[in-house]
Amino acid sequence: YRTDPETVELTYSDIKCLDPEVFLKSPVINFYIQYLRKSRPCDDLYIFNTYFYSKLEEALSRTGECGSQFSKLRRWWRSVDIFKTPYLLLPIHGQVHWSLVIIFMPAKEIKSGPRVFHLDSLGLHSSDKVFGVIESYLIEEWRHLQKDSSYDIPFSDTIWRHLSRNIHKEKIEVPQQQNDFDCGVFMLYYIDKFIQEAPDDLTGVRPCKFGRKWFSPVEASGLRKRIRVLLIDIFQNAPPSDRNLVSHADDDSEDEEDKGKDTIVIV
C-alpha cells in the first residue's frame, strides 16, 4: 500500500498536531482529505494529496527531463481525466504555510478554458509562482493528450487548440486566519466549504461565492477540534485488521504513553 499515492498512514502521535497552536502535519491533512472525498461523488471532484504539488514542482524544474519525469507522475491521477473532471483541488505547501488551488473546468458550451483559483489565508504564497506551476501542469497534460487523435476534447475546438492562451488565473479573496498556526486548518476548511457549495451547473464563471465573508474565521478554527475528535474515535474503534502495532522509539514524541501506540492505514 505504500506505493499508492492515496494511502494515508497515521500514528496515534500524529493527533498531537491537532493540539492548540500547533501546525497541522501532512498525515492528518491527508486523512481529512480522504474523509471529505467520500462526501461527494468522485466523478466531478478530485482532491490531490499534500505531496503532489511538490512532486509536480520537482518534475517541472528538471530542464530537459520534464517529459519523462512528468510521465512518471501520472500515477497520481491515473484514474482521472483532469480536463473532464469539473473540480480539481491541490493543497500547496511551502515556507511552513498551506494554501489551496482550485481548478474549475467549465462546461464546453460556455467557450472558456480552465479557470485556476488560488486561496491563501495569509497571502504568504506567491500566486504568480503557483499559477506558473499549475499552467505548466495543464499544458504538459494537454500535450500528452494531443497525441491521441481519438481523444474526445472537453472544450470547444478553438479553446482546445490554443489552450495555453485560455487558462484563466485569479487570486481569490477569502477569510483570513487570525493567528500564525491555523493555515492548514483554513486550507482544509476551504476544501470542506467548497465541496458543500460547488454547483453541479458548470456554466458559471466562478464555481462558488468566495469572498472575505465566505465564513467566519472562528468557524474555520473550530475544525481543528472536530478532526481531533474524529481521529480519536477512529483509533479507538478501528478493528484489529486495520491496525499495525508499531514502536515509536524513533519518533519525536516525548510522552512514553504514546510509544507503542497503533498505526492505522486508510486507503
Domain ranges of the chain: 1-23+222-267, 40-215
Residues serving a catalytic function are 97, 120, 183
Place of cell 499515492: 5
Per-residue pLDDT of the chain (267 residues; tens, 9 = 90+): 455 667 788 888 899 999 999 999 999 999 999 999 887 766 789 999 999 999 999 988 876 666 677 888 888 888 899 999 999 999 999 989 999 999 999 888 888 899 999 999 999 999 999 999 999 999 999 999 999 999 999 999 999 999 999 999 999 999 999 999 999 999 999 999 999 888 777 666 677 889 999 999 999 999 999 999 999 998 888 776 655 543 332 333 344 344 345 666 654
pTM for this model (two decimals):
0.87
CATH fold group of domain 40-215 = Adenoviral Proteinase; Chain (3.40.395)
Q: What sign results for the dihedral spanned by CA atoms 63, 66, 72, 74?
A: positive
Write the pLDDT tens digit of every residue in 151-206.
Answer: 999 999 999 999 999 999 999 999 999 999 999 999 999 999 999 888 777 666 67
Q: How far apart are CA 262 and CA 136, in angstroms?
A: 41
